[in-house]
Chains A and B, each alone.
Chain A
């Protein structure tokens, strides 16, 4: 076991898989010589060579399109899109090609591409470096959508994604790359040094896709969330004194409805939370799934905490971000209702 932050855990997943499987290659902007703007691929080109860790032109459509072709020819490409905000030029390749290739060719052709991309705000990134577009991808059938909330899951899930014959879009909440964040920007930053999920095996292991995790057990309210907000939810539970069960969805598609439903049947109350904008967001799917499975166990309407339906504003980041105050208000509101 070693102490790793999320960046180191992600890098370790690459390292382990590139050692095990010569068909695993990496391409993306600045991923090679420099090692990535967030350092997730640092040292990989020196170790595995320029043919396996490839600096790509600034062309997200080209990166994803070429990765698809490489996957068809037997490689297992990991494509890094430098910011999730930059993924849209490759969107057609993801939706029309990557997601549907297996289907349209009745399983004759497929391309096991993993697309890694940092997402989310809280880093003073403004509206082009802060988005959480996961809900756009969960709506696309044929791809799996993953967002880990800690180093242990990040490495284990990334290895599962690389090994998967299905394409995976792997969102990395960059605010928590270096340490968990409880949603209060006034507090000094903390590292993964003392967090239990900062303890990461150095070798190969997997965290299976399609399974949610109970990040904190509780009896009074189920908070269903993922990414950075897992940590905010835990902090808000403590701040409000409500005995919350916090569920880390981890894999958004396919969704582990069973784990969510079991928890809500137990607590009788539910709140969903994500950093992405609310309207038409992934939270709506979570609410609908829980409502269908747990309607007669619910003691109050399901609460929803999300980013406001605006672009991510640079100067008002902390009014936009669903931090400790909004999460706590959401908890109180669900507890007072019904």
Chain B
């Protein structure tokens, strides 16, 4: 203690040129955290917020009470979708670098979050995603062509050219529209879940924010409402260690884990290895069952690492060590599941490579198809008059007249 008051300025353990240092990250061996009953009282669950639920051990075995005991088929489903997410992201990144879309965001290193949670939820459950949740849309039936057309703002764009690339939506897949403003979807998920309970349905809601967005007021509004009304909702914090250039300590993660954010409100928190598909699946299923049985909300912190840049507009080599991801103690979710499947005798390097080739070719086929609906440089083109639609349920007179004027100006009248 110093004799004078002083500010604490959070600093990451390593900046460019430094040796990566994850000593701040509290770990636990696979299988070491108990799995309480889903109807346990919140006070008996508090320890879960400070632990780390892991199933896949460093020797690639699945261990402990949270092991969902996936068969070979389920393991392959998980691996396939995570790989598709990554292959798609890699291709879209290249496409952006070639100047053929304006912007992109990858989920590299975080694929287990969207895929495992999509596998654990029921189709009628509503997802309120953040901008790195593309795996949810894929898993819930949005075609690669449709996702690419959204990124291209072309004539098949689900958003009709109104949104930045990656801001998808899927009404039929029960995945909400991505806003671009951070954390705003959290109270929506709670309200949706409240409505589900009001209507007497057993659908639950789930939402995702990053560690950085937990500092937004909406995060706290949502937690309060979820706790007060015991809404059937799963609130996920994807702690990928970085919010653009600020590390998770800048969002307040230095002293208590994000999983503990709800404890003061009586919301159970579970900290889980976010790069372990089996653990994420199991924890999500547990929280979903708890919510469906009237047990209320659960806050899940998924500990992972943002393997890539924040977006195509970002250069992480300016603020963190280049080899930091390689040093991340929880590794790469795809590699870990692959090694587990090989250890279990369900998989091989050859099969893995052949699956990657298959997915790459699926993505290439989709890209060829998507471009037929228009690119940034070649038609067909969206009618700019569509920009005046859907502002209101019915177009008011002022927008009708502005649309007429826009056409006149464009025609050179």
Contacts and interface: CB of A to CB of B under 8 A. Distances in A.
Interface in A37-94: 51-52, 54, 56-57, 59, 61-62, 64-75, 77, 89, 92-93
Residue with the highest number of chain A CB atoms closer than 10 Å, among B158, B193, B391:
B391
Nearest to B228: A57
Contacts of A210: 396
B162 A65 contact: no
A142 B391 contact: yes
14 contacts: A62-B187, A65-B187, A65-B188, A65-B191, A69-B128, A73-B126, A96-B181, A97-B181, A102-B393, A103-B162, A142-B391, A166-B393, A254-B397, A254-B398
Interface stretch (B111-119, B195-203, B279-287): B195-203
Given A68-B188, A69-B188, A108-B169, A89 B217 contact: yes
A198 B384 CA distance: 47
B198 A52 contact: yes
Given A57-B228, A65-B186, A109-B176, A254 B396 contact: yes
Nearest to A74: B195
A206 interface: no
A66 B218 contact: no
A65 B229 CA distance: 15
A70 B169 contact: no
A74 B397 CA distance: 28
A104 B188 contact: no
A110 interface: yes
B150 to A, nearest CB: 10
B75 interface: no
Given A65-B186, A93-B187, A141 B391 contact: yes
B188 A110 contact: no
A62 B221 contact: yes
B196 A73 contact: yes
Contacts of A89: 217
Nearest to A77: B191
A67 B128 CA distance: 15
- Range class of the A interface residue count: 35 or more
Nearest to A103: B390
Contacts of B393: 102, 110, 164-166
A93 B191 contact: no
A255 B218 CA distance: 32
Interface of A: 25, 51-52, 54, 56-57, 59, 61-62, 64-75, 77, 89, 92-93, 96-97, 101-110, 141-142, 144, 164-166, 210, 254-255, 257
A105 B128 CA distance: 13
Contacts of B170: 108
Contacts of B198: 25, 51-52, 70, 75
Contact of B398 (A67, A107, A109, A255): A255
A249 B128 CA distance: 38
Interface residues of B, number: 46
Residue with the highest number of chain A CB atoms closer than 10 Å, among B191, B221, B389, B392:
B191
B179 interface: yes
Contacts of A67: 191
Interface string B387-404: 001111100111000000
Contact of B195 (A75, A97, A103, A166): A75
Nearest to A59: B221
A82 to B, nearest CB: 16
A297 B215 CA distance: 56
A68 B225 CA distance: 13
B56 interface: no
B163 interface: yes
Given A65-B188, A103-B390, A57 B224 contact: yes
Interface in B214-255: 217-218, 221-222, 224-225, 228-229
B177 A109 contact: yes
Contacts of A65: 184, 186-188, 190-191, 218, 221-222, 225
A108 B167 contact: no
A75 B193 CA distance: 12
Interface of B: 126, 128, 158-160, 162-163, 167, 169-171, 176-177, 179, 181, 184, 186-196, 198-199, 205, 217-218, 221-222, 224-225, 228-229, 389-393, 396-398
A108 B177 contact: yes
A115 B154 CA distance: 35
Contact of A68 (B181, B187, B196, B224): B187
A106 B222 CA distance: 26
A68 B128 CA distance: 12
B224 A142 contact: no
B190 A66 contact: yes
Contacts of A142: 391-392
A62 B199 CA distance: 20
B224 A62 contact: yes
A24 to B, nearest CB: 11
A101 B244 CA distance: 26
Given A62-B221, A107-B390, A108-B177, A70 B159 contact: no
A184 B147 CA distance: 62
Contact of B194 (A64, A66, A110, A144): A66
9 closest A-B pairs by beta carbon, nearest first, are A69-B191, A65-B187, A62-B221, A66-B191, A69-B188, A73-B195, A254-B396, A69-B192, A105-B177
A112 B82 CA distance: 36
A106 B390 contact: yes
Nearest to B401: A257
Contacts of B218: 61, 65, 92-93
A132 to B, nearest CB: 22
Contacts of B217: 61, 89
Residue with the highest number of chain B CB atoms closer than 10 Å, among A71, A73, A165:
A73
A96 B191 contact: no
Residue with the highest number of chain A CB atoms closer than 10 Å, among B188, B221, B389:
B188
Contacts of B128: 69
Contacts of B171: 105, 108-109
B222 A104 contact: no
A105 B169 CA distance: 6
Nearest to B395: A254
A109 B175 CA distance: 10
Nearest to B168: A105
Nearest to B187: A65
Contacts of A75: 195, 198-199
A94 to B, nearest CB: 11
A57 B195 contact: no
A52 B316 CA distance: 49
Contacts of A164: 393
